[in-house]
Structures are given as structure tokens and as C-alpha cells.
Structure 1
Amino acid sequence: MKETHTKQLSISMMRAKFLALLVVTGLLISLSLTSCKSNSEKEADALENLNEANENMENVETEVSNDSVRKANDEEWQMFKREAQEAIAANEKQIISLRDALKKPGNKFTESYTKAISDLEEKNDGLQSRIDNYENNQTNWANFKQEFKNDMDNLGQDIKNATEKNK
């Protein structure tokens, strides 16, 4: 009887081991099937990651490009401002010269000529104020630059005309 009992125990153990092995094998197969992706899924994921990396790289390149544009505009602005201030100072000297001519004895200048010189001085001061108060803003830089140059040229021509009347 002991022998049959031992045989039954042995058969039960073998069944238990077989069942355990079957369960473990089933788990491993199901895990491998659920965790593994097909090649097309892997390719799609890789392509998505590549696209994201390219977008990030483009964003960084755009930021770097914008920074360099801002710096170039800052340099251009500083040069423009310096040149404008030099021109304004030259205009101021010419206006002072015209005012001095008014003070000379025996001048034949009219009241309208005196007012014209005052107007020139106001325009020159207005240009100086525009330069001093301008904030370097890229959106209107080209427009500001064009208008300022135009106004500066007009003022220069007006001063030249007033100087010729003085002769």
C-alpha cells in the first residue's frame, strides 16, 4: 500500500509540476505577445520619435536665428542712432549759425525768417526726441528708419534753403 501511495504522490507531484510549468509557459507567451510590438508599430514609433526630434531641432534653430536677428538689429540700431545723433548735432550747429546771423547789426531778416529758424530748431529737437524715445522694436524698425531718414533729409534741405537765403 505504501508503494501505491508513493506512486500516487509521485504522479500528483508530476501533475503539479506539469501544471506549474504549463502556467509559467502560458504567462511567458502572453507576456511576450503583449509586450512585443510588430515591426510596423516599431517603425511608426521610431518615425514619430524622429519627427519630434526634428521639430525640437527646428524650434532651437528658430530661437537661435531670432536671437542673431535681434543682435544684428541691435547693432544696426546703435549705428543708426549714432549717425542720426551726429546729423542732429550738425543741424544744430547750422541752426546756431543762422541764429547768430540774425543778431548781426544791419541784418535784413524778416519775422518769417526768424520763425523759420525757430521751426527748424523745433524739427531738429523733435528728431532728437524720436531717437531718444525709440525702443528698438523689430516690427516697426523698417518703417521708423524710413520715416526718420525722410524727415532728416527734409530738415537738411530746409536748413540748406535757409542758409542760402542768409547769403
Structure 2
Amino acid sequence: MIFSALLLLAGTEMISCNSSAEKVEKAEDEVKVANENLDEANSEYLADIEKFRLETNEKIDENAKSIADFNARIATDKKAAKAEYKAKIAALELKNTDMKKKIADYKADGKDGWAKFKEEFNRDMDELGKALKDFTVKNE
């Protein structure tokens, strides 16, 4: 019986040694697979970065083209805008000339007439002043 117990103990030791060796081998295999997965993941990561760079550069180039197109339109629109500005300025000059003529042509017509004229004239002058201010602010 003692001999059987010793045999059992020796057998268990041998099995556990094999088991430890198998565990080490299995762990080494797992490390190898993990390293391969890591290398693959790094390759995918680097490929993704390169893909992103290419896509981003394409978008940046598209944006640059859009900006160039916009600047070209502005250059052509400026000429049309200048004509529009000249027309607005001419209208403002005409209104100003009309106001000058209106005050020069005013004939005394009593206090009530004067109050009414003054009120209308001031209102028209305020509108002209506002129009001039708005025009200047928009074009600065």
C-alpha cells in the first residue's frame, strides 16, 4: 500500500510537470497570437491614419477650390455691386439736392405752416441721414 501511494504520488508529479510545461507552451502560444493580433491592429491603425490623411487632404483641396471659386465670384460681383452702389449714391445725392431746393424755395406761410414744413423737413432729413449712415456702415 505504501508502494501504491508512492507510485500515485510520483505519477501525479510527472503529470503536473507535463501540465506545467503544457501551460508554459500554451501561454507562449497565446503571447505569440496576441503579438500577431497587436501587429495586425497596429498595421490597421497605421493604414487607417493614412486613409484619413488622404481623405482629409482631398477635403482640404475641395475647400481650397470652393474658396477660390467664391473669391472669383466676389471679384465679378464687386463690379455689379459698384454699379449698384453708384445708383444708390446718385439717389442719395438727388434726395440731398431736393432737400436743399426745398428749404431754399420755402415761402413763409405762417406759424402753422412753418411748424408743419419744419416737421416734414426734419423727418425727411432724418431719413436721408439714416440712409447715408446705413449705406456707409454696409460698405465699410
* TM-score under structure 2 length normalisation: 0.49
Give the number of the structure whose residues are more often helix, by fraction: 2
Q: Which of the pair has more CA radius of gyration?
A: 2
